[in-house]
Amino acid sequence: MKFGVVRFPGSCDEVDALHACRRFGEAELLWHGDRDLSGIDAVVVPGGFSYGDYLRVGAIARFSPMMEAVIEFAEDGGPVFGICNGFQVLCEAGLLPGALLPNDSLRFVCRQVEVVVEATDTPFTRTCRAGDRLSIPVKHTTGRYFAPPGTLPEDQVVLRYAPGQNPNGAMEDIAGVCNAGRNVMGLMPHPEHAVDPLTGSADGGRLFESLSMVPA
Amino acid sequence: MRARVLIRPKEGILDPQGQAVERALPALGFEGVQNVHVGRLIELDVEDAGRLPEMCERLLANPLIEDYEIVDGEAA
């Protein structure tokens, strides 16, 4: 099982993501200017500020050569996991429904939150049970999930912020969604920062563990 | 030709930037201001202004959350 973690100019969580992946499989970095995904079983699009967040978050990264390869990989059914800025990039790329808007507070939020697992029939949550609560940090300014009415079927909501813990004004407390094919997922919280009890929680590891069970 | 594109949050979508500005103006003594929305302006020189709508749809705006208006450039 080999993960590929994309590095854009402006990424900042790719090293933690690489570390999280390596707890459950092999992993290597993928440079944004390359397009080679040979040997990769699952792609992680990490957090950060790709291309400086210029124009709109994720808007420029979506056109990078590597993202063109990732879009093709996803369309062939390959699992793609977008975290924070990665979630924003996948929405801009049209691989996930909806978009991320500035937090309703207009402030950067950085804190531990609990998210509730809503769907377990995805490659990202197969080791979880519906209703499980995972303690994972968020850190973002543009995390308010929004999907126009009728564009997000209920069964594509994978994670919700626990009641009262929505940090950004996201529609219906949505923290993470998947595509109709269920092989692409994005979430605002950072599971890669919660893989070791030393940093307060290892709950995020369960998502990487789930992903590592994808048949190679 | 020179073109200008105005991009604003879609109506009905919460615009916290607009709200923050709306609250700040009375604090400076500017009363009677309502419905403030903050968007952005993109200016560009284009050879074929006919392609501006496609540029807006694919990159300059995100049509899910933003409306765009091509102010100049349509008469090219």
Decide yes or no: CATH 3.30.1490.20 for domain A2-212.
Answer: no
> What whole-number distance in Å separates Cα of residue A118 and Cα of residue A156?
9
pLDDT tens for residues A151-185?
Answer: 999 999 999 999 999 999 999 999 999 999 999 99
Residue for token digits 């979630």? A87
**What's this model's pTM, rounded to 2 decimal places?**
0.93
Residue to mutate among B62, B66, B67, B68, with most A CBs inside 10 A, is B62
For B2-72, the fitting CATH number among 3.40.50.300, 3.30.1280.10, 3.40.50.12780, 3.30.1310.10 is 3.30.1280.10
Enumerate residues 6+ apart whose C-beta is below 8 A from A76. Answer: none
Residue B1 has pLDDT above 90, yes or no: no
Q: How confident is the model at residue B76 (pLDDT cuts 50, 70, 90)?
A: very low
Q: Identify whether the C-beta of residue B72 lies closer than 8 Å to the C-beta of residue B3.
A: yes
C-alpha A10, offset from chain centre: 17
Span between the terminal Cα atoms of chain B, in Å:
7
Residue for token digits 């099982």? A1
Residue to mutate among A51, A53, A54, A56, with most B CBs inside 10 A, is A56
ipTM > 0.90, yes or no: no
Domain assignments of chain B as residue spans, ordered by start: 2-72
pLDDT tens for residues A195-205?
Answer: 999 999 999 99
Strands of the sheet with A26-31, listed across from one edge:
A26-31, A2-7, A42-45, A80-83, A184-187, A174-178, A157-161, A109-117, A133-140
